[in-house]
């Protein structure tokens, strides 16, 4: 057991996908990472030997440090981070415990290139409605907490992707797009191996709303209505994205924790 504050894999899993989830710092040795080139959702790789250079950026932030087994490297890195003002935890059992529990791992080979600050950059068509808000939500919550999104004229997506080193999504002819009856959100969940029960249920709602098939789930029509309302409420695509993140946070938690809950009026037992 870790001598300093630690989180079990199950406790960390319960916080993944939430807007206030801790930042994950993967400090595995290069040979360990090469032996299994996957990472925990949203984890950022940092070399523990250079911790003096990168630790200050996490001052005031809550972080979880992950090494191969949750021992000396993550213990030492977490202690250093606390000295620099971070609220640092160690993942109990490290990467091996997370993997042994069968919890989500992201294939590193599928992650887009990062910019000079370590962020992934994505580009799609302007005036998003459903899929182009759902996908950024998935990326921000499960892939890259610092991801940036460019919304541009449909005719310019490919050119902007080339000139600005961005990854195009939800347009024809690119990897991250619709496949058959599935939408781009489905593609991302499948390729990133994120098919948790909650995300699988949310994907059904997104598919129904995005492909005019509300019969797939009763809530799909409500998701579509809320999405179209947001697109008319916000003329700025980035403002709409921020509002949409909260919408998908709510739908995700409903899919995860609240599907069995019902309400009625008058309340049960009321005189």
pLDDT digits (tens, 9 = 90+) for 209-243: 999 999 999 999 999 999 999 999 999 999 999 99
- Evaluate whether 131 touches 158 at the Cβ level (below 8 Å): no
Let me know whether 100 and 141 are in one domain: no
**pLDDT for the residue numbered 268:** 66
**pLDDT for the residue numbered 2:** 42
Bond into 266 cis (ω within 30): yes
Nearest to residue 67, comparing CAs of 101, 83, 90, 88?
A: 90
Let me know whether 138 and 22 are in one domain: no
**pLDDT for the residue numbered 226:** 97
231-234 contacts, C-beta under 8 A, 24 or more apart: 231/127, 231/128, 231/129
Let me know whether 206 and 223 are in one domain: yes
**pLDDT for the residue numbered 3:** 46
Q: Structural domain of residue 98, as residue ranges? A: 6-108
Let me know whether 127 and 51 are in one domain: no
Q: Which residues of 232-254 are buried (b: 16+ CB within 10 A; e: fewer)?
A: eeeeebeebbebbbebbeebbeb
User: Could you tell me how many helices (H) and strands (E) the chain has, helices first?
Assistant: 11, 10
Determine the Cα–Cα distance for residues 63 and 56; give it in Å rounded to an integer.
12
Residues of the chain with pLDDT under 50: 1-3, 271
The pTM of this model reads 0.93
Report if residue 267 sits inside a domain: no
**pLDDT for the residue numbered 269:** 58
Return the H-helix or E-strand segment holding 89.
Answer: strand 87-91
CATH number of the domain enclosing 72: 3.40.250.10
Domain end: 91, 108, 125, which one?
108
Domain end: 75, 108, 141, which one?
108
């Amino acid at each position: 057991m870790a001598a300093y504050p630690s989180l079990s894999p199950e406790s960390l899993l319960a916080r993944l996908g939430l807007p206030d989830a801790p930042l994950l710092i993967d400090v595995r040795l290069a040979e360990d990472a090469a032996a299994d080139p996957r990472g925990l959702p949203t984890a950022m790789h940092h070399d523990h030997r250079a911790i003096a250079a990168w630790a200050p950026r996490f001052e005031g932030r809550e972080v979880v440090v992950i090494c191969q087994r949750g021992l000396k490297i993550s213990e030492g890195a977490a202690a250093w981070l606390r000295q620099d003002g971070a609220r640092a935890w160690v993942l109990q059992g490290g990467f091996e415990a997370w993997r042994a529990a069968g919890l989500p791992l992201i294939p590193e080979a599928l992650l887009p290139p990062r910019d000079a600050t370590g962020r992934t950059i994505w580009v799609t068509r302007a005036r998003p409605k459903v899929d182009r808000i759902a996908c950024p939500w998935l990326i921000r919550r499960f892939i890259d907490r610092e991801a940036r999104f460019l919304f541009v004229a449909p005719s310019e997506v490919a050119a902007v992707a080339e000139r600005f080193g961005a990854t195009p999504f939800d347009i024809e002819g690119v990897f991250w797009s619709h496949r058959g009856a599935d939408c781009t959100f489905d593609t991302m969940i499948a390729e990133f191996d994120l098919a948790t029960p909650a995300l699988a249920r949310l994907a059904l709602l997104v598919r129904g709303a995005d492909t005019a098939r509300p019969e797939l789930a009763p809530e799909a029509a409500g998701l579509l209505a809320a999405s179209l309302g947001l697109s008319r409420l916000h003329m700025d695509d980035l403002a709409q994205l921020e509002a949409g993140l909260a919408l998908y946070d709510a739908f995700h938690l409903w899919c995860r924790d609240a599907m069995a809950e019902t309400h009625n009026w008058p309340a049960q037992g009321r005189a």
